[in-house]
């Protein structure tokens, strides 16, 4: 997909990887549709970029997510949240919320844009999963399960949509310096103490790989060090 002149919709554009992807895509000539719940943040980013539309949206709310936005060439399903807790301590409602946001919402968003992409005969969808799905990290069962499900959702969608000119790709970032740890549904303090947190990537680095995926339509990209099962040489 050629980024220059394309319309790219990014969920979770109010901070971190989503905001960095918006800035990188704008620099590459895209027009942006920015989605998140914190309207002040996305409005400010839209003003900074000049050529962007800010839409307040809770992506877990089907009615809000299914509004149409005219043309959409690329969807970056980036909104997400983690939860850090031992299996026996997880509140079931929290577990469901994490599945809803990280697994069900990407499907809702895909269903919202697919009719447009099919009518256009082309499209790219990037699902932002996590490198944590490369290994069963203790205290991460809600988030890991949701993102592992997203990996399969993304792979099945890729197989299903390939003959319609729609490329579905999966991005697997490693630990990234964003608001993610502070925004965990539970367990932020324990997560901050993780040794891996000391080697965090910048959100700009992840954004660059997301742009690569948009351009190439490749199946997946990861920024996970080899010692954690990924492809990144130390």
Ligand X SMILES: NC(=O)c1ccc[n+]([C@@H]2O[C@H](COP(=O)([O-])OP(=O)(O)OC[C@H]3O[C@@H](n4cnc5c(N)ncnc54)[C@H](OP(=O)(O)O)[C@@H]3O)[C@@H](O)[C@H]2O)c1
Among 28, 31, 44, 58, binds ligand X (CB under 6 A): 58
- The position carrying tokens 């895909």 is 110
What is the full DSSP assignment across 34-76?
A: EEES-HHHHHHHHHHHSSEEEEE--TT-HHHHT---S--SEEE
- Shortest gap between Cβ of 162 and ligand X (angstroms)? 24
Alpha helices in 121-229 (DSSP H): 141-161, 188-192, 203-216
Nearest to ligand X of 61, 160 (CB atom): 61
Would you count residue 24 as binding ligand X (CB under 6 A)? no
- Shortest gap between Cβ of 193 and ligand X (angstroms)? 14
Measured CA angle at 56 (ends 164, 21), to 5 deg? 60
Report how far residue 22's alpha carbon sits from residue 26's, in angstroms, rounded to the nearest whole number. 6
- 69 has catalytic annotation: no
Radius of gyration (C-alpha) of the chain in whole angstroms: 17
Q: Give the footprint of ligand X on residues 185-224 (CB under 6 A).
A: 203
- The position carrying tokens 């965990």 is 184
Stretch that binds ligand X, among 51-59, 87-95, 116-124, 185-193 (CB under 6 A): 51-59
Stretch that binds ligand X, among 52-60, 112-120, 154-162, 211-219 (CB under 6 A): 52-60
Binding interface with ligand X (CB under 6 A): 11-18, 36-38, 41, 57-60, 78-81, 101, 128, 130-131, 173, 175-176, 178-180, 183, 203
């Amino acid at each position: 997909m050629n980024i220059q002149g394309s319309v790219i919709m990014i969920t979770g554009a109010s901070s971190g990887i989503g905001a960095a992807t918006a800035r990188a895509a704008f620099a590459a000539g895209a027009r942006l549709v920015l989605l998140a719940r914190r309207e002040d943040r996305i409005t400010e980013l839209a003003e900074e970029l000049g050529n962007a539309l800010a839409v307040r949206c809770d992506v877990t709310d089907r009615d809000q997510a299914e509004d149409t936005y005219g043309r959409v060439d690329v969807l970056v399903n980036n909104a997400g949240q983690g939860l850090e807790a031992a299996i026996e301590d997880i509140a079931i409602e929290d577990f469901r919320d994490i599945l809803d946001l990280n697994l069900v919402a990407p499907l809702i968003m895909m269903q919202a844009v697919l009719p447009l992409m099919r009518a256009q005969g082309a499209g790219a969808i990037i699902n932002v999963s996590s490198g944590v799905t490369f290994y069963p990290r203790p205290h991460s069962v809600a988030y890991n399960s949701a993102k592992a499900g997203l990996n399969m959702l993304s792979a099945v969608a890729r197989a299903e949509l390939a003959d319609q000119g729609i490329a579905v790709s999966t991005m697997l970032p490693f630990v990234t310096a964003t608001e993610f740890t502070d925004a965990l549904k539970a367990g932020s303090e324990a997560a901050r103490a993780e040794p891996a947190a000391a080697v965090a990537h910048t959100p700009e680095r992840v954004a660059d790989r997301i742009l690569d995926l948009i351009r190439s339509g490749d199946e997946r990209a990861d920024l996970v060090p080899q010692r954690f099962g990924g492809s990144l040489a130390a």
